[in-house]
Amino acid sequence: MKNITKNILEYTVIFEPAEEGGYTVNVPAIPGCRTQGDTFEEAVANVKDAIIGCLEVLKEEGLEIPQEEPETVIVKVSVSNPTLTA
């Protein structure tokens, strides 16, 4: 059987507004893979570079390249604010 490798990898990326402006960015599937950007566009470009860098380090160290499960679902849920309940 032929070994098929994906040429393009996709990762879920979380962008959060930073207190000082811009965005901080986290890649949950790749522990420690984080970056930031002064604008959303810069943060997108920076996280792509960060992912590539993290994957290159993993490859150099002979570690497995993380692949995200296609079933990953990200949603927001609402809960009651405990500071506002009696």
The tens digit of pLDDT for each residue in 48-66 reads: 999 999 999 999 999 999 9
**Is residue 84 one of the residues assigned to a domain?**
no
Per the domain annotation, does 18 fall within a domain? yes
Q: Please say whether the beta carbons of 65 and 55 come within 8 A.
A: yes
35: domain range? 8-65
Domains in the chain: how many in total? 1
pLDDT for the residue 70: 79
Q: What is the CATH number of the domain that holds 30?
A: 3.30.160.250
Assigned domain for 37 exists? yes
pLDDT at position 32 over 90:
yes
- Cα–Cα separations (whole angstroms), residue 71 to 17, 39, 55: 26, 30, 22
Is pTM, for the whole model, over 0.85?
no
